[in-house]
Amino acid sequence: MRKIQLVHVGWQAIWLAVAKQTSNIWTGIAQSSTIVTKLLDQLFAGTVLTELVTLISTSSQADIRDYVHRSAIWALLPDRARIGFLRSTAIGLLTYESPEESTSELEPELVHLFNSSAFQTEAFYHPSMSLSRVIVYSKRFTVSEPVVLQYLRAYQNSPSAGDARAFGQLVLQKRWTSTADELFSYSRWNSAWQGALAECVSLLGMINRFIAYLMPGLSTLPSRHQLQDSWWKSLLAELQSVYYEGPLQDGLWEESGGENHEIKAQRTGGEQWVDALRKLRTRKTRATIELLLDTVTMHYPTNSTFTTLRRNIDHA
């Protein structure tokens, strides 16, 4: 096999037969990388056995990132072989180069693969893929939020301050609300993530945003007015959801010290709550925010939003 002549299909057939017999495509083949180069060159000039190329595409020599005619070879490779060569080449690029950088020139076939969620799921677990590289990768290529979430949930380290900020900025730019929620959860037990959350806190729901503002890493973000506004908006959203009929539902307004005639019954429940909270904030009712929160937490003692707002009523 040392004097194999790749231009002859007969020699290729012999190579293929030996490979099948030994279950090793490289049995008796020296300088395998050189042989692969010659075989790929032969695709331009003559006939190459499809099965042989396909076997090579599943071997350790399928990484052809340094092949001179790489950009032209993809169109000549058989379909199954192209998939194998592309994957190995992409992994090789991730390992030894930086294909995520905008200065890296890539053929459309490789760009398509790097945009693939299936490949990204594999690539993001590659040892070379740090958080900073994932951020840059996600800026150049089309990355879906589920792939990033999967990476984030498997991430075992604490991010640097710079990586945390850059990741949060990416989350905000992509409008990845589920990832923002995940960062909120992480930030409660690992302060290193609070820098990321600070960048995308606007993507959180009302009550989580209010809680986030109380975290040490985000405490400088809101003004007193913004924190107060966040508290009242969180309360409004939860009241409209739980007491959807309005303040008169279950006798809530009277239990809070108010009088039922203060509520305009012809309006929707949501509109009634907007008007009722405006009266509470401007003290144009006998009802008090303390009594209201005492009552709703008594009605719904397991409601975390009501209990959190009651515990932080000094921000009202």
Q: Which residue has the tokens 């729901």?
A: 205
CA separation for the pair 19, 52 (Å, rounded): 9
Residue 41 scores a pLDDT above 70: yes
Would you say residue 240 lies in a domain? yes
Whether residue 267 has pLDDT greater than 70: yes
User: Within 10 Å of residue 160's Cβ, how many Cβ atoms?
Assistant: 14
3-state secondary structure of 129: coil
312 and 228 inside one domain? yes
Same-domain check for residues 174 and 228: no
Asked if residue 3 has pLDDT above 80, the reply is no
**pLDDT value of position 2:** 53
Q: What is the mean pLDDT of residues 89-97?
A: 95
**19 inside domain:** no
Global pTM value: 0.81
Task: Say if 27 falls within a structural domain.
Answer: no
- Residue 6's pLDDT is what? 61
Q: What is the largest CA-CA distance in the chain?
A: 101
Residues 192 and 272 in one domain: no
User: Average pLDDT for residues 17-30, to the nearest whole number?
Assistant: 79
58 domain-assigned:
no
Asked whether residue 175 falls in the same domain as residue 238, the answer is no
**What was the pLDDT predicted at 207?**
93
* Main-chain dihedrals φ then ψ at residue 288, nearest 5 degrees: -125, 150
Average pLDDT, the chain: 91
Q: Is 80 part of any domain?
A: no
Identify the burial level of 163 via C-beta atoms within 10 angstroms of its C-beta, where 0-12 means exposed, 13-18 middle and 19 or more buried.
Answer: buried
Residue 137 lies in a domain: no
Q: How many domains is the chain built from?
A: 2
pLDDT at 173: 97
Specify the pLDDT at position 274: 96
Chain position carrying tokens 């990355």 = 143
Residue range 20-41: mean pLDDT, rounded: 81
Q: What is the CA radius of gyration of the chain?
A: 31
What pLDDT digit, counting tens, does each position of 219-241 carry?
777 788 888 999 999 999 999 99
Q: What is the pLDDT of residue 8?
A: 74
> Do residues 243 and 273 lie in contact, with contact meaning Cβ atoms separated by under 8 Å?
yes
pLDDT at 5 over 70: no
Higher-pLDDT residue of 189 and 38 is: 189
What is the distance between the terminal CA atoms of the chain, rounded to a whole angstrom?
83
Cα separation of 140 and 312, whole Å?
Answer: 43
pLDDT recorded at residue 15 = 79
Which domain does 300 fall in, by range?
A: 222-316
Answer for the pair 239, 296: CB distance below 8 angstroms, yes or no.
Answer: yes
Average pLDDT of the segment spanning 73-101: 95
Residues 213 and 267 in one domain: no
| Residue in 114, 109, 86, 84 with CA at minimum distance from that of residue 99 | 114
Examine the domain organization and report whether 252 and 213 are in the same domain.
Answer: no
Say whether both 281 and 265 belong to one domain.
yes
Boundary residue ending a domain (201, 219, 237): 219
Buried b (16+ CB within 10 A) or exposed e, 200-223: bbebbebbbbbbbbebebbeeebe
229 and 184 fall within a common domain: no
Asked if pLDDT for residue 136 goes beyond 90, the answer is: yes
Per-residue model confidence (pLDDT) at position 209: 92
| Residue 92 maps to a domain | no
Kindly state whether residue 289 falls inside one of the protein's structural domains.
yes
- The predicted model gives 85-112 an average pLDDT of 94
Q: Which two three-digit tokens encode residue 92?
A: 């090789």
pLDDT, position 32: 78
Give tens-digit pLDDT for 149-176: 999 999 989 999 999 999 999 999 999 9
d(CA 100, CA 111): 10
End residue of a domain, out of 219, 237, 269:
219
Q: Is the pLDDT of residue 1 over 70?
A: no
Burial label for 308, CB within 10 Å (0-12, 13-18, 19+), is: middle
